[in-house]
């Protein structure tokens, strides 16, 4: 069976005010506290375009390699629904701001358990279009009534539509992860799925190998987590295969996702062929984009792919490490602040990704309030490089830095930590270890070079991690020859 998936992603833009009025955009405010005649759809109220929302739309289009229309306009989509009191939504139909473009997928955007088994590495998922519209109000279904909160009504919303060329639930996961990263890089949206700032409808159809015509399109509505999208699509693939194997014919239908049950459920069969009677909104003049494109272009950030490549080239880190660093904009900025001008940028990447990340996780802190500054981490790495402290001592010093915010050199001085580099003292330790381990010593003499590491480990242990490992290696080798 061949799986075909297309996504429609809704992204709340990061503007201070709404799309067509001056009401603030704020998550979690008291219901209906951010409203005015325009976003309540009162008769006679007139919309005014939020220029920043248009800039962010065009910036998104530029980041995703879209063609930007030189002139674009808003249309009215006519329908009746309680969350939309004007009885039409202002959206874009005939001339959206952005056409085509793509989202590049990368290995680390896939779910962890699927990264070893990627079907089409470096795939680009093509887009159909990106348009700008206003969000509708939120309805809450209470016991005997329905409440509507108009705070969300009129919030600037991007709709990003992909071509139906995603071929697995894992690829859909990678698409959303990679797209979200780019949106965060451009500071276009906070893209927090839990807050509904990134939502997604999935279209999925299955067809037998060799059949070119697409199977019945099943839509899963209102997905609000990337892992939920993966699980919902995986469930649908199984459900549809089983149905087709039983000889059933699938019908076009709309389904919902019950996350706790781990199942999709039928919402409605047969889509109505809605006639929305789109027409250009007479209250809003067409928008010429030339100046806005210029402004958006000046705000183009370095994109995740470019950052990954540059980290490899400029700092000599592995492609994998560069990927993990670039996955998180703040982590990448931290690493870069530490690595700029550093003698050992590769060690800094290791420290950032291992010790620092796990200390932050243990403390439940984010990189934004990390008690160890990038410069302080660089100083620590330099102390190890210079042989002042051993790698093992550095781990201790790091934990102390994290707990107290003191610098590495202050802690080293205060605690009298230093690496044992006195050759006579190390020789004594080596003699003791060789005497206590006659077999590995004999093995090494017989040409078993790996035995040296064992003996070295024993000396390090005996010195409680303070001995200079390079010196230990040298002295052991000399003694065993």
Nearest to 213 by CA among 202, 205, 221: 205
The interface with Zn ion within residues 37-66 (CB under 5 A) comprises 38-39
Torsion of CA 419, 405, 190, 116, to 10 degrees: 20
Minimum distance from residue 74 beta carbon to Zn ion (Å):
16
SS3 (DSSP) at 288: strand
Which one, 36 or 333, has the nearer CB to Zn ion? 36
Q: Which stretch binds Zn ion (CB under 5 A): 22-30, 140-148, 220-228, 455-463?
A: 22-30
Q: Is 19 in the site for Zn ion (CB under 5 A)?
A: no
Nearer to Zn ion among residue 2 and residue 45 (C-beta): 45
With CB under 5 A as the contact rule, which of the stretches 23-31, 89-97, 227-235, 445-453 interacts with Zn ion? 23-31
Q: Between residues 25 and 220, which has the closer beta carbon with respect to Zn ion?
A: 25
- Least separation in angstroms between residue 36's CB and Zn ion is 3
Question: If we measure between CA atoms, which residue out of 373, 455, 379, 464 comes closest to residue 418?
Answer: 464
Minimum distance of Zn ion from residue 46's CB (angstroms): 12
Which of the stretches 29-37, 222-230, 445-453, 467-475 binds Zn ion when contact is defined by CB under 5 A?
Answer: 29-37
User: Which CB atom, from 135 or from 321, has the smaller least distance to Zn ion?
Assistant: 135
Residue 24 CB, nearest approach to Zn ion (Å): 9
Could you list the beta-strand ranges (E) of 18-111.
67-68, 71-72, 75-78, 88-91, 98-99, 102-104
Nearer to Zn ion, 152 or 255 (CB): 152
Smallest separation, CB 150 to Zn ion (Å): 8
Ranges within 226-245 binding Zn ion (CB under 5 A): none
* Minimum distance from residue 82 beta carbon to Zn ion (Å): 18
Q: Helix, strand, or coil here: 11?
A: strand
CB of residue 90 to Zn ion, shortest distance in Å: 13
Closest CA to 95 of 132, 60, 65, 59: 132
Q: Which stretch binds Zn ion (CB under 5 A): 28-36, 213-221, 312-320, 437-445?
A: 28-36
Residues 353-372 that bind Zn ion (CB under 5 A): none
- Token output for 257: 């996702």
Binding range to Zn ion, per CB under 5 A, among 13-21, 235-243, 283-291, 301-309: 13-21
Q: Which is nearer to Zn ion, 48 or 291 (CB)?
A: 48
Between 36 and 216, name the residue whose CB sits nearer to Zn ion.
Answer: 36
What are the structure tokens assigned to 55, written together? 């800039």
**Residue nearer to Zn ion on the CB measure, 149 or 321:** 149
In whole angstroms, what separates CA 277 from the centre of its chain?
38
236-to-6, 13, 254, 304 alpha-carbon distances in Å: 14, 30, 12, 31
- For the record, the structure tokens of 35 come out as 């409203």
State the distance between the two ends of the chain, measured CA to CA, in whole angstroms.
Answer: 65
Residue 52 or 418 with smaller CB distance to Zn ion? 52
The Cα–Cα gap between 481 and 477 comes to 6
Q: Spell 257-279 as b/e; 16+ CB within 10 A means b.
A: beeeeeebeeeeeeeeeeeeeee
The residue within the footprint of Zn ion, chosen from 2, 17, 32, 36 (CB under 5 A), is 36
For residue 262, the minimal CB distance to Zn ion (Å) is: 39
Binding-residue total with Zn ion (CB under 5 A): 5
The CA angle 192-164-75, to the nearest 5 degrees, is 70
Residue 39 beta carbon to Zn ion: minimum distance, rounded to whole angstroms: 3
> Contacting Zn ion (CB under 5 A), which of 5, 9, 11, 23?
23
Pure H helices in 328-368: 329-339, 345-351, 357-363
Cα separation, 50 vs 156, in Å, equals: 8
- Give the residue with the Cβ less far from Zn ion, 21 or 204: 21
136 binds Zn ion (CB under 5 A): no
- The label of the residue with tokens 């896939």 reads 110
> Could you tell me how many helices (H) and strands (E) the chain has, helices first?
16, 17
Pair 320, 361: CB distance under 8 Å: no
21 touching Zn ion, by CB under 5 A: yes
d(CA 389, CA 379): 12
Q: Which residues bind Zn ion (CB under 5 A)?
A: 21, 23, 36, 38-39
């Amino acid at each position: 069976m061949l799986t075909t998936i297309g996504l429609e992603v809704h992204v709340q833009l990061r503007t201070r005010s709404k799309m067509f009025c001056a009401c603030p955009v704020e998550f979690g405010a008291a219901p209906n506290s951010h409203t005015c005649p325009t976003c309540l759809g009162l008769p006679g109220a007139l919309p005014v375009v939020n220029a920043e929302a248009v800039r962010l739309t065009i910036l998104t289009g530029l980041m995703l390699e879209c063609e930007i229309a030189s002139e674009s306009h808003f249309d009215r989509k006519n329908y009746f629904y309680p969350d939309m009191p004007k009885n039409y939504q202002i959206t874009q139909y005939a001339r959206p701001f952005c056409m085509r473009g793509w989202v590049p997928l990368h290995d680390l955007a896939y779910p962890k358990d699927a990264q070893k088994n990627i079907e089409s590495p470096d795939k680009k998922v093509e887009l159909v279009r990106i348009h700008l519209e206003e969000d509708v109000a939120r309805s809450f279904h209470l016991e005997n009534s329905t409440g509507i909160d108009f705070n969300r009504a009129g919030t600037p919303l991007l709709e990003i539509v992909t071509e139906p060329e995603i071929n697995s639930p894992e690829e859909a996961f990678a698409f959303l992860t990679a797209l979200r990263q780019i949106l965060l890089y451009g500071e276009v949206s906070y893209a927090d799925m839990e807050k509904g700032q990134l939502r997604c409808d999935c279209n999925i159809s299955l067809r037998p190998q060799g059949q070119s015509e697409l199977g019945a399109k099943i839509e899963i509505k209102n997905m609000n987590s990337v892992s939920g999208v993966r699980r919902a699509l995986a469930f649908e693939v199984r459900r549809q295969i089983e149905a087709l194997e039983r000889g059933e014919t699938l019908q076009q239908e709309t389904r919902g996702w019950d996350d706790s049950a781990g199942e999709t459920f039928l919402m409605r069969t047969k889509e109505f062929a809605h006639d929305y009677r789109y027409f250009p909104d007479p209250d809003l003049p067409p928008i010429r984009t030339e100046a806005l494109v210029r402004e958006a272009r000046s705000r183009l950030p370095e994109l995740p792919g470019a950052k990954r490549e540059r980290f490899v080239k400029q700092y000599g880190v592995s492609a994998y490490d560069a990927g993990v660093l670039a996955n998180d904009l703040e982590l990448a900025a931290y690493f870069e602040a530490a690595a700029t001008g550093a003698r050992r940028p590769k060690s800094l990447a290791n420290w950032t990704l291992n010790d620092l990340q796990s200390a932050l996780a243990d403390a439940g802190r984010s990189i934004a309030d990390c008690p160890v500054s990038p410069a302080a981490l660089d100083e620590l790495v330099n102390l190890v490089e210079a042989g002042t402290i051993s790698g093992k001592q550095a781990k201790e010093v790091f934990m102390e830095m994290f707990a107290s915010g003191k610098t590495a050199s202050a802690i080293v001085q205060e605690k009298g930590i230093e690496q044992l580099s006195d050759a006579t003292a190390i020789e004594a330790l080596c003699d003791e270890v060789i005497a206590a381990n006659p077999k590995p010593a004999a093995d090494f003499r017989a040409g078993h070079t790996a035995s040296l590491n064992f003996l070295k480990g024993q000396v390090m242990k005996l010195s409680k991690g303070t001995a200079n490992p390079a010196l230990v290696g040298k002295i052991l080798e000399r003694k065993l020859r």
